[in-house]
Structure 1
């Protein structure tokens, strides 16, 4: 019999949201696990679940509200504006704004170091685990039927 208090948690992310940087902890608490259950967030793309002995599956969807950041130049300016003491200092800083400050930084759906996308990673993992194309086709068809 599986008991929540006996569970150690591990959750993975692909794109992290700043407001909930430890999504594993938040998900475990929201699911009713004890606050004594160690929960941490692991960012290992597709492979996180392969590290667990017991798995509690969960998901958090961020692609409909992807965290888009200001450019590095804009972030630097905003921090300096926050430290400015007088209105004159603030106006002086605001006068340095250029159009390229407004270019957003979009998150990449790829590993930073390797550039590998989730699709390529999934294909590589499927090949390594000898997952057949029949299994993949069946899984895709089942998913389509559910929609």
Structure 2
């Protein structure tokens, strides 16, 4: 009988000590930055390796040619350069002007332009899409 009373007592204590948990969620509606995955397009037969200074020069040239001083004032952060590909960050509201400038820009010499592989508000989505294309044999 003592065992039964102990189990009833512990069951009552357990049922009184549990509380429901409030689930909290939030949505970020407008992230402050946009991201772009870019690829250098060349006409040279030999491999042209892109570095940060060369990329900065190409981006500045494209923005200056298309938007003038306003384009040069767009702050662009170079996040990563790997071979002919790179990832950059800019203010979200400037993504449209940035992509228009790169689309209209024609390079000089062996560089014929810069292709926008992907662009969006979330860097993780761009990197994930890029890695998925590599796995399944995409371009």
Q: Greater helix percent: which structure?
A: 1
| TM-score, scaled relative to structure 1 | 0.26
Larger radius of gyration between Structure 1 and Structure 2: 2
The structure whose RCO (Cα within 8 Å, separation 6+) is larger is 2
| TM-score, scaled relative to structure 2 | 0.27
Q: Greater strand percent: which structure?
A: 2
